[in-house]
Amino acid sequence: MTSPYDNGESHQLWRRAVSQVEPHLLNPVIDPKFKIDKTSLIATAGSCFAQHIARKIREIGFSYFVPEKGEEFSVEERIRRNFGVFSGRYGNIYTTRQLLQLFEEVFEQRNRSERAWIRGSDNRFVDPYRPQIEPEGFADARSVAEARERHLEAIRAVFLQSEVLVFTLGLTESWRSKKDGSVFPLAPGVAGGSFDPELHEFLNFGVDEVSGDLCTFLKKLQERNPGIKVLLTVSPVPLIATFEKRHVLVSTTYSKSVLRVAAEIAVSKFDFVDYFPSYEIITGSFSGGLYYERDYREVNSLGVAHAMRCFLDSYLSRLSNFRSVSHLKEQDDAATTQPSNGLVCDEEAIDAIKAGTSIDVL
């Protein structure tokens, strides 16, 4: 008797691929679609977890593309003003709708009904679409508009000149303007502006919406940049809060499931798009939860090191050209469970409001 599984590969069988593999050696990447050369211009965008990838890209000697550098400021001031956190100074792009509307604003002159919000703590102005990017805020709405024009010009370069774009999908829950459909990274009133039920609404994107936005973005991106390669990841960081009337753990499972399915659909439709399973590496049962901090939410240095080692082993075209393989192994061996510092996460502002504390924008 025979079965369709008789000739299955080891990586297709749980016991051989997971149970019988030492946890730190497990690499779930099979047959990546493309390789990344040391000289490839790599851009990053997405949720908080994408910053881990950005940092490692810089550390190991990749050509990390940052056209929005803030060269007029000192190194310390650039850090304080969030330059270099991502390739563009766009803050967290949590949803595929945010990513698509940013692209349309850059190339299609997408209009925005809300252009500046007043920050209640000091009456300074903020950009509704990156409300925590400027620690001091702006003096007036005109200053917000001028800064955004400079920002969009830099983002044009990100989309047109990058050879590899790493985008981390983070959330499905969002807040939207009823006037023009624009979505925000944070609800009005959290880090600026004021919530008005006549003007704003909550929404929780489904698979069709997330997938539709992502595929539309990818089509438009390839039209503008035919040689682009896109590597999708899903953030393993749980939701810090949910607006749905249910447990945050349940909302987290829903959100990550939708994002993972949308990523899979994109990979199946586009030959220039691949998926890197950092989500599976961090959340997999094989690790016994060792890749999270004590809050069960933040990813620790052990988890980051494991994910990045898999990334290097799978996607580098010539390992000998990088100082990174041994460098990361040393980091992994010495890794502790101390918290990762300095990540810029807009949604932390939600937790701060509930706790009655202030937010330091790093």
pLDDT at 355 over 60: no
Q: What digits encode the pLDDT tens for the residues 296-340?
A: 999 999 999 999 999 989 998 764 455 444 444 433 333 323 334
Pair type for strands 41-46 and 164-169: parallel
Q: What digits encode the pLDDT tens for the residues 106-135?
A: 999 999 999 999 999 899 999 999 999 999
| Mutual angle of helices 207-224 and 248-269, in 10-degree steps | 40
Q: Which of 27, 35, 64 is nearest to 316 (CA)?
A: 35
How far is the CA of 101 from the CAs of 113, 129, 139, 216, in angstroms?
A: 13, 10, 26, 11
Q: N- to C-terminal Cα distance for the chain? A: 63
> Could you tell me the pLDDT band of residue 277, with boundaries at 50, 70 and 90?
very high
Q: Which of 185, 200, 176, 223 is nearest to 86 (CA)?
A: 185
| pLDDT score, position 335 | 32
Domain map (residue ranges) of the chain: 32-352
Q: What digits encode the pLDDT tens for the residues 245-273?
A: 999 999 999 999 999 999 999 999 999 99
> Could you tell me the pLDDT band of residue 352, with boundaries at 50, 70 and 90?
low
CA distance 101 to 140: 24
Task: List the structure tokens of 120.
Answer: 């209640």
| pLDDT score, position 325 | 42
